[in-house]
Amino acid sequence: MLLVITLMLAACSELSGNQGFAGLAASVDNTSDDEFLQPGPGDPLTFPGDFGPHPQHRIEWWYLTANLETAEGEPLGLQWTQFRQAIKPRPADAVAPPPENWPLEAAWMAHAAVSFDGQHQFAERLARGDVGHAGATFAPLQVWLDDWLLSEPSTGEPWRLTVEADGWGYDLQLANTSERVAHGDNGFSAKSFDGQGSMYFSLTDLDISGTVTMDGTTHQVRGKGWFDREWSSQLLKTGQQGWDWFALHLDDGHKLMAFRLREDEGGRDFRSGTWIAPDGTATSLGPDQIELSGEGWRESETGRVPERFRLQIPDAELDIEVVAPEGQYWNAGLYPYWESPVTVEGSHTGVGYMELTGYSK
CATH architecture of 2-356: Beta Barrel (2.40)
Return the pLDDT at 153: 87
**β-strands 119-128, 134-138 pairing:** unpaired
Per the prediction, the chain carries an average pLDDT of 91
Peptide bond into 48 cis (omega under 30): yes
Return the pLDDT at 324: 97
> In angstroms, rounded to a whole number, what is the distance separating the alpha carbons of residues 195 and 39?
10
Return the pLDDT at 9: 43
Give the start-to-end residue ranges of the domains of the chain.
Answer: 2-356
What per-residue string of b and e applies to 239-273 under the rule 16 or more CB within 10 Å gives b? ebbbbbbbbbbbeeebbbbbbbbbbeeeeebbbbb
Residues of the chain falling short of pLDDT 50: 1-7, 9-10, 12-19, 26-33
> In angstroms, rounded to a whole number, what is the distance separating the alpha carbons of residues 155 and 170?
23
3-state DSSP assignment of residue 101: helix
> In angstroms, rounded to a whole number, what is the distance separating the alpha carbons of residues 202 and 62?
10
> In angstroms, rounded to a whole number, what is the distance separating the alpha carbons of residues 193 and 176?
33
Return the pLDDT at 239: 85
Return the pLDDT at 292: 98
> In angstroms, rounded to a whole number, what is the distance separating the alpha carbons of residues 208 and 2?
39
Give 144-191 as a 3 state SS string.
Answer: EECCEEEECCCCCCCEEEEEECCCEEEEEEEEECCCCEECCECCEEEC
Return the pLDDT at 5: 41
